[in-house]
Structure formats: C-alpha cells, structure tokens
Amino acid sequence: MPTEKNASTDMSYLDFQAYVDITKHIGGFAATDELLSLCHVAEAREVLYVGCGIGVGATYITRKYGCRVVGVDISEKMIAWARQRAREDKVENKTEFRVADVLDLPFEADRFDAVIIESVLAFVDDKPWALRECVRVTRPGGYVGLNESYWLTEPSPEIVAQVRVSVGSAIPTAVTWQALWEESGLHDRVVKLYQVDSRVEVRDRMRWVGWKWALRGFGRLFRLYITQPAARQLLREMFATPSLDTLRLMGYGLFVGRK
C-alpha cells in the first residue's frame, strides 16, 4: 500500500492524488455509465481503462458487465491503490493493473474491444499522439471513448494560469476537443457536451471515491498537510482560485468513436 512518507519536495497535482488515494472526473458515475453505454461495453470481452487512478472505474466496469478490464496509470502508487481496490471488491481475477504511459501503451495493436479514458488527456500535452495510441490498441469495430473537461467560455488569464499551476496542464476548449476528435480517424463519432452543476459535482466526487476510501484519504491529506511543506504549498495554489467558481466555468464532454 502506498504511504505518504516518500513525498518529494516538489509535489505535483497527480502526485498529491496518488498519496491521498483520491481520483475523480467531472460527471461522476452518470457520465461513466453513459460513456460505457455509447461504447457498447456490455458486449465487450476485454476493456482497457487508461489513467485508471485508484481503480474505481476499472473495478466498476468489471462488476457491472463481467468483462475483463486492464487498467493502466503512469503512477506506481495509483496502480498499488487500484490493485488494493480490486482485492476489496473481489474482482482481482478479472482485472489487471500495469504502470504505463498513454503516449506509449505496452500492448499490441487491435487488441481491446473498448478503450475508456476519463480525465486523462486533459493532462497530456501531446493529445493527438495519445489518442492515436488509444486507437491503435483498439480492435477494428471496437470503440474509443473519452470523458474530458473543457472551458465553457474562455476564462481569464489568471484562472488559466492558476489551473495550469494546480494541475500541471491547460484545460482545452470544446472547439479544441472537437477538432481533435474530427482528426481521430474514428467512424460513427458522437460528441455530447454538458455543463457542470457544481453542487452535484461535489456530491458525485465523494460517491465516486466511496466514503470509506474518502475518509481514509482525508486522513492522509491531513497528515500530509501537517508534515509536508510541498503539500501545503500545492493546496494553497489549488485553492487560490475558489474551486466551485472555477467549476462553473467548465463543462465535460463525452467523445465516442468506432475504429
């Protein structure tokens, strides 16, 4: 199990999530369920979940549909949490978790019936290459599905800078995502854009993680805040712009296509 004792003096947003075992995406289970339906996951035998974090989405797919799920994440700590969640959910025999980068997926071409990506490509600078990798490992006739956040309107330069400092990347606009999707080479493309309800979002984030995991995570968060200057600095940067105000400027999009 990961611990916080090895936190570095330069902690990133993703490092922070890995240490406190909390990951999330906008839209929660409702967005995931719609994405899985659009990707026909009920008919899939093997699914790749890219950026699996602590394993919530991967284990959820296995429990709901009974298919085999491979989860990958760039963080070793996230993968350790995901394996623990699979054991607790009693689906370790139908799940596999590996450390891997979306820019260089360690799988043969044309393998998976569906590739699911939620709140991952927003953090990747080379989005076209990452998407090509996801398409490459999808079998002909299979589906690629994204759930990614975007700005409803162009925010102020101060908010853009703050988000980049907090999460290490710039959130694209809907136009940018749609252009990327048009160039994906996928067929039967579907794009659905949604506005965020900030009140619902806070509740859904807790439901996604699970109350038991959330309580343990908040305990680790408190210890990190007390013991690690890097964590305190990151939290100050993250909340320099009120998070609910920022959420009101954001939406999320579901992008689905067939190879």
**Contact yes or no for 118/57 (Cβ under 8 A):** yes
- Looking at domain 13-258, does it have CATH number 3.40.50.150? yes
Structure tokens at 52: 């699996």
Mean pLDDT of 204-218: 65
Burial of 195 (0-12, 13-18, 19+ CB in 10 A): exposed
Which of 42, 43, 65, 61 is CA-nearest to residue 52? Answer: 61
Mean pLDDT of 11-37: 74
Does the structure show a pLDDT above 80 at 228? Answer: no
Tell me the per-residue pLDDT of 95-144, one tens digit each, with 9 for 90 and over.
999 999 999 999 999 999 999 999 899 889 899 999 999 999 999 999 99
Does the structure show a pLDDT above 70 at 173? Answer: yes
What CA–CA distance (Å, rounded) separates 25 from 247?
12
Confidence of residue 29 (pLDDT cuts 50, 70, 90): confident
Model pLDDT, residue 2: 42
What type of residue sits at position 28?
A: G
Burial of 143 (0-12, 13-18, 19+ CB in 10 A): buried
Distance from the first to the final alpha carbon of the chain: 37
**Contact yes or no for 21/216 (Cβ under 8 A):** yes
Domain ranges of the chain: 13-258
Does the structure show a pLDDT above 80 at 25? Answer: no
Does the structure show a pLDDT above 70 at 1? Answer: no
What CA–CA distance (Å, rounded) separates 39 from 113?
9
